[in-house]
Structure 1
Amino acid sequence: MKQAGYIVLFWTTLFLFYLWTGSSSRNTHQIRTTPDEVSRNGFVMFARNDKLKEMVRSIKRLDALYNQAHDHPWYIFSREPLDSSITGELSRVSRGLARFGIIPNEHWGYTSTTERIIKSPISREKLLNRWFAGFMSSHPLLRDVDYVWKVDAESTYHCNMIRLDPFGLMKTNNLSYAGIPGTKEDAHGALSLWNNVQSFVKRNGSLLHSEGMELLSSDKGKSFNMCRFKDQFGILSLRFLRSTGYHSLFESVDDINNGFTTDGWTDSLFFTIASSLLGGPRSVHAFRDIGYEHSKWTYWCPKGKAHEGNHCMCDPTDFRLKDNKPECIALFDT
């Protein structure tokens, strides 16, 4: 009974919150995006037929907490065509237009060894990380899109983001990548990628930002601090992902040893390194006022005025999770 009461309270709060933000946004023209801005920003989600419930929940939640004021489209990708019942339901519940795309075979594996392990759930995740990092920006469905918000079906957001307007913040500040700070990459994967990055740096000095190592290394690139943004959430500039420097970096490290599949490089690790290295520290933004949760290990809840002002529905004193690394959180204060 107690648990049921909490559930009722949560959804009642969310409904009232939706009404409050909706009436507020309708009377605040500054946060209403233009039709052109709507079409050039969008949410990106990888979908599976067996994840309908989770996808619907994530779409409804983000639409209530942010997209009700903007109607940005949803770009939903899959390896195979989704059932018509799935596409119909996702189109029905999404605030913005829902569009569906297939990830082509040539972007989903690159060696016979890789192809043999695709059936593993872990391998699917690894190949998806590679697709997000290297091929998402070139998909025809996103041809005219400038910024994408990567959404995982099993992620949860806890704060109102209408006044914050993350997409608007990206454009105004000319950002390449924004996410939630404070975690460290697995040492093996991080170091193998960093070794490849160091080789790229030696060969391509003209492509690097003069302050490119500031967020990545304390000794001018000799070692990597292994700090990165949290998984399964990030807002990215597709113009940056389509740039010559970014493509050169991705192709350089991807061609060496299939690290996304063999060493488990995450897209958030690669995005953190690439955006810092090529765009400098001011092209990267750490969101501290977005409440975010994914699985039992990833959690972020704003504190103080940010928690109150954004009507966050999370506990800022909850330290049950282990991936918040103080040294990495402090790094993105600079």
Structure 2
Amino acid sequence: MLEQVLRRPQRLLYLMVVGMAILFLSTYFSLSSHGSEQLRAHLDALKSVALRKNGTVAVTPGPVNVTCASFMEELQTMDNIRQHAVKGFDGRLYPPTFYPTEINTMPRAKAGFVVLVRNGDLEEMRSSMRDVEDRFNRKFGYPWIFLNNEPFNEEFKAGVKKMTRSETRFGLIPKEHWSYPDFIDQDKAADTRRIMTEQRIIYGFSESYRHMCRFNSGFFFHHPLTQDLDYYWRVEPGIKLLCDIDYDPFLFMELNNIKYGFTISMHEYPLTIPTLWNVTREFVKQHPESLAKDNALHFIADDPKKGMDQEYNMCHFWSNFEIADLRFWRSKVYTSYFDFLDHNGGFFYERWGDAPVHSIAASLFLNRSEIHHFEDIGYHHPPWTHCPASVSKFHETGKCLCNPEDSADLGDFFCQWQWWRTSIEGKPDAA
């Protein structure tokens, strides 16, 4: 044995290190009156970490090897808390720390936040994430999917990662999804931008805005980073959530077979979509089976008796906030509809937005029961706000920080009353 060690001196070094460690530990715990208790506490804390990673315990640090529910029952007195406390970096005792996402062991939906954002929007994006995390996601832990037509830089990636404990994904939009298809006459498209600029139509001059609207209308749900998702929540830079969200909207969608959810609805600018409705009617004429039996046509057209033989009233769901079922956008009826619109050229020859495209599709191809107004989600995207109406449910309970009188639902430019007349749930109670 000695001869083997001498032939390989690294073995001797290893034995010396192990021996010194054993000597140090035995001396320390024999001299310390609390040595054995401290060792047991640290070993139990390691067990706690292992259990927490398996999703059965949601506390750290502390000597815990029980289920979360039974552990919470133990923490009834200061003596119980002291038993599970550990020394922090400053030498003081700290009670167990609870991570809401880990305490909440309920199953999650196959869902995430989908964000179309530029590197230069970092600070506004961080602000949005702070609101979403504090109001909702710290309790549920859904992933963030960031998409850009240019590669994300390291500053952006690091900046948004600091705002969440959840998974973050960064994706590049394929060039063919953010460029002119070969059937578009780019000279004609340029003429449209020039005319709309002269008419001072919002974003009428912008090429990138048109690429964005086309991407949001027909391609984001095909991106590889969204393929494991059934539901998404669209988030934009600079938004605010004004109320605590204590339940899971994704599971709410799944429980109730809802395909599309919104907070604010309004009228579109008619000059941006002069032919969108006529093209839609032509699609429905060719595919009458696409109409849902109990659709929401009354939201986008004022006389339900006339069916498709009437004008579009310009109402749409404001799509910078939407929680929706990706399987609807991937369905044959919607992808056929988008392809029909795309080849008509209105994304470039006019200025079709993804909001009216999504809204018309949802209103025609879904049943009313499959569309939901999230009355309880307070939301602000400059310059408009949705604030829940019920004082007793949301404003006297500490859930919301907004004034119902400031809600966009009340303005003439908005379409909330058109939704109330159409929907199954009707107008909410303000009491």
In the superposition, the TM-score normalised over structure 2's length comes to: 0.65
Q: Which amino acid aligns with 1:294?
A: H
The correspondence for 2:122, drawn from 52, 55, 60, is: 52
Within 5 Å, which residues of 2 pair with 1:177-326?
177-212=260-295, 213-217=297-301, 218=303, 219-222=306-309, 223-256=311-344, 258-296=345-383, 298-304=384-390, 305-308=392-395, 309=397, 311-318=399-406, 323-325=413-415
Q: Which amino acid aligns with 1:183?
A: M
| Structure 1 residue ranges without an equivalent (≥5) | 1-21
Q: CA deviation at 1:319?
A: 5.8
Deviations 1:272-313 (A, max 9, x none): 1112211221111111111111112x2211122343247111
Q: Show the counterpart of 2:27.
A: none
Is the CA contact 1:176–1:240 (under 8 Å) kept in the aligned structure 2? yes
Q: Which amino acid aligns with 2:420?
A: A
With over 3 angstroms needed to count, the CA separation of the structure-2 counterparts of 1:27 and 1:54, relative to structure 1, is: closer
**Counterpart-to-counterpart distance in 1, 2:145 and 2:230:** 13
Deviations 1:45-83 (A, max 9, x none): 112121110011111110110101110000000111111
Is the CA contact 1:182–1:328 (under 8 Å) kept in the aligned structure 2? no
In the superposition, the TM-score normalised over structure 1's length comes to: 0.82
**Counterpart-to-counterpart distance in 2, 1:180 and 1:279:** 18
The higher-RCO structure (CA 8 Å, 6+ apart) is 1
Cα RMSD (Å): 2.7
Is the CA contact 1:183–1:328 (under 8 Å) kept in the aligned structure 2? no
Q: Which amino acid aligns with 1:194?
A: W
Q: CA deviation at 1:214?
A: 3.9
With over 3 angstroms needed to count, the CA separation of the structure-2 counterparts of 1:310 and 1:161, relative to structure 1, is: farther
Greater CA radius of gyration, 1 or 2?
A: 2
**Counterpart-to-counterpart distance in 1, 2:423 and 2:328:** 23
**Counterpart-to-counterpart distance in 1, 2:158 and 2:99:** 30
Q: CA deviation at 1:260?
A: 2.2
**Counterpart-to-counterpart distance in 2, 1:319 and 1:70:** 27
The correspondence for 1:73, drawn from 143, 150, 174, is: 143
The correspondence for 2:134, drawn from 49, 53, 64, is: 64
Q: Which amino acid aligns with 1:281?
A: R
**Counterpart-to-counterpart distance in 2, 1:291 and 1:215:** 22
Q: CA deviation at 1:41?
A: 0.4
| Structure 2 residue ranges without an equivalent (≥5) | 1-96, 194-202, 425-431
Deviations 1:234-278 (A, max 9, x none): 01211111111111111111111x222332222121111112211
Q: Which amino acid aligns with 2:418?
A: C
**Counterpart-to-counterpart distance in 1, 2:363 and 2:204:** 32
Pair 1:153 & 2:237 matched: yes
Q: Show the counterpart of 1:14.
A: none
Q: Which amino acid aligns with 1:143?
A: Q
Pair 1:172 & 2:242 matched: no
Deviations 1:71-114 (A, max 9, x none): 00000001111111211221222231010001111011223628
Is the CA contact 1:302–1:316 (under 8 Å) kept in the aligned structure 2? yes
Q: How many residues are treated as equivalent by the alignment?
A: 304
**Counterpart-to-counterpart distance in 1, 2:325 and 2:387:** 25
